[in-house]
Amino acid sequence: MAVKESISEIPENLALKLCKEIQKEKPVKLFSQCWGCLKYSKEDTKKMCFYDPPKNRGCNKINKRFDKQ
């Protein structure tokens, strides 16, 4: 069975909000995807994993959360 993936654009401010929600629910583990994203981007949204203009669908965790809404 194929997984249906949304192609909807995620606004940058919503993507950041979803990122913060994910961080609150599950602490960031050392050397995880979130750890690397936060460490190397220094929370600059233009350097974070989700930043992929124009749709901002670069982070699978944020995409999954957004698609559930």
Quick: pLDDT tens for 22-60: 999 988 899 999 999 999 999 899 999 999 989 999 999
Residue 27 vs residue 63, higher pLDDT: 63
Only one residue has tokens 């936060």, namely: 38
CB-side exposure of 63: number of CA atoms within 13 Å?
16
Residue 5, pLDDT score: 56
Q: Where are the domains of the chain?
A: 12-68
Alpha-carbon dihedral angle through residues 30, 60, 48, 26, given to the nearest 10 degrees: -40
Residue 22, pLDDT score: 95
| Biggest distance spanned by C-alpha atoms of the chain | 38
Average pLDDT over residues 5-18: 89
Exposed e or buried b per residue across 41-60, where buried means at least 16 C-beta atoms within 10 angstroms of its C-beta: eeeeeeebbbbeeeebbbbe
Residue 57, pLDDT score: 94
Model confidence, pTM: 0.83
